[in-house]
Amino acid sequence: MKKLDSNQDKELLLEELKRLRKENKKLASQKDKIKAKYDKTKKELKKKRRSEDNIDRRTKSITLEPVPGHRFPLIVIQLCVLIYMRTPCGLRTVVTILEIFAELLGDTFGKVPCYNTVENWVKKLGLSVYQDEQPCKDKKFAMVVDESIAINGQKLLLTLAIPSEHQGRPIKHEDVTILDMSVGKGFNGDDVQSRIEEAEKSAGNAPDYIISDNGHNLTKGITGSRHIHHADISHSMGVILKNVYEKQSDFVEFTTLLGKKRLQYHLTDKAYLLPPNMRTISRFMNMSSWVFWGNEMLDCYDTLPEKIQEAYAFIKDYESLLKELQAVLCAVRHVEAICKNEGFSIMTSRKCKLHIITHVLGNAHSRQVHAGIKMLEYFNREEALLTANMSINVSSDIIESTFGIYKSKKSPNKLYGVTSFVLTIPLYPKVSNESVTKTINFKERIVNVKLKDISTWSTEHLSKNWVTERTKTLRKVS
């Protein structure tokens, strides 16, 4: 009897297994049908999204809300400011670019701002950045101080903060913070000292050291502030070259002759080999172009047409001078590259001194030896200011570049002097690339600064705008 029950249970289990298999097969079939339906629906939706009608609908659904207190959305403000600050475009060109965007995007883009509005946005953001409280608090930084050339009788004294420790690369604009901008007819040592002290207060911390060129007023002001003063390497090398060569008869004769030949051969068939123009400002810092030109002309002289050889025969008379200058300038460029790219430390200083001894002093002309000794004195003097493990910056190239950016943005009419466009200087380091731009809150800054704040700041810190005075005076007469 028990055996019969066991057979029945076995049959029941087999029937249940068959039923479950059929049900599983049915479910699998349903799953395949549902998946096929899902894939079909997905393709139809994707196709629908790509249709022209749907693109128009999606574009029109984008809303650009204006910034509080302004008629324009944040993205338009950011677009205008970044185009103006990162490119050589002028204000009117920025507006033209936005008009193209508006033309392509239609009503979605909205109105295009005028160039005065773009100018106001730039100045607002610049003033907001400049007035940041204690931007260097709890940071190790160095100051870079310099004054611009005179613009309608006005000079701009600029104080920057940069990292005091060398970053393993030359300083970039994104590393810079503007601490002080002062405008005046000139700045003596006491004025410079006063501005350094004010910059120190606004920074919220004392600098580890200060970099400047060899200007007497800057040197006196930094000494008075009792901070360590490192002389910019490029200006120092330029001063050495000036002291050694400026009054040498062959140097004076050759440079004078180059100027005459430029005038004589200008617009002739000999002009294609003319020497580069010699700068009047920072002349000895920018000798490389014409010295290397002279040596290249010597190297290819024998291959030149006879007519050209006659025109440039004077170069052969100054071959020894050109070779001597090339040796010195090659050494200058080499040591500058080491200090700017690797930092100035005891190790790099010794590396530079070894290069000078090997390539400038060895079997050299007496003037070349004089230049080499002066270069060694510079490195010994700067090295004495270092501690054992310091690696610092000794280049003020970044402040020269900052002046260059301001010069490219300001009006070419020198009658304007230094205007509120100077506020582009503190703004540029904060929008120079994507990484630093992400750290600046455009909306908050543009809302918190009013146009009257710019006017008040300009009145307190800038001199009279003579173009405005001229316009007012002539308008009264008419």
The rounded distance, in Å, linking the Cα atoms of 31 and 29 is 5
What does pTM read for this prediction? 0.81
Please, which residues have CB within 8 angstroms of residue 147's CB and are 6 or more apart in sequence? Answer: 155, 156, 157, 158, 187, 215, 217, 218
DSSP string, 100-136: HHHHHHGGGT-PPPPHHHHHHHHHHHHHHHHT-S-TT
CA angle 198, 201, 386 (to 5 degrees): 95
Of 194, 203, 220, the C-alpha closest to 164 is 203
The rounded distance, in Å, linking the Cα atoms of 396 and 427 is 19
The rounded distance, in Å, linking the Cα atoms of 80 and 255 is 46
Contact 356, 375 (CB under 8 A): yes
Indicate the residue type of 190.
D
Indicate the residue type of 432.
S
The rounded distance, in Å, linking the Cα atoms of 478 and 475 is 5
Indicate the residue type of 306.
E
**3-class SS at 410?**
coil
The rounded distance, in Å, linking the Cα atoms of 437 and 82 is 9
Of 250, 275, 247, the C-alpha closest to 263 is 275
**What is the pLDDT tens value at each position of the chain, 478 positions in all?**
445 466 777 777 788 888 888 888 888 888 888 888 888 887 777 666 655 544 444 444 455 788 888 888 899 999 999 999 999 999 999 999 999 988 888 777 778 999 999 999 999 999 999 998 888 888 899 999 999 887 878 899 999 999 999 999 999 999 999 999 999 888 999 999 999 999 999 998 999 999 999 889 999 999 999 999 999 999 999 999 999 999 999 999 999 999 899 899 888 888 889 888 877 777 888 888 999 999 999 999 999 999 999 999 999 999 999 999 999 999 999 999 999 999 999 999 999 999 999 999 876 778 899 999 999 999 999 999 998 788 999 999 999 999 999 998 888 887 788 888 999 999 999 999 999 999 899 999 999 999 999 999 998 988 877 777 777 888 766 5
Six token digits for residue 288: 């490389």
Contact 217, 187 (CB under 8 A): yes
Helix (H) and strand (E) counts in the chain: 20, 5
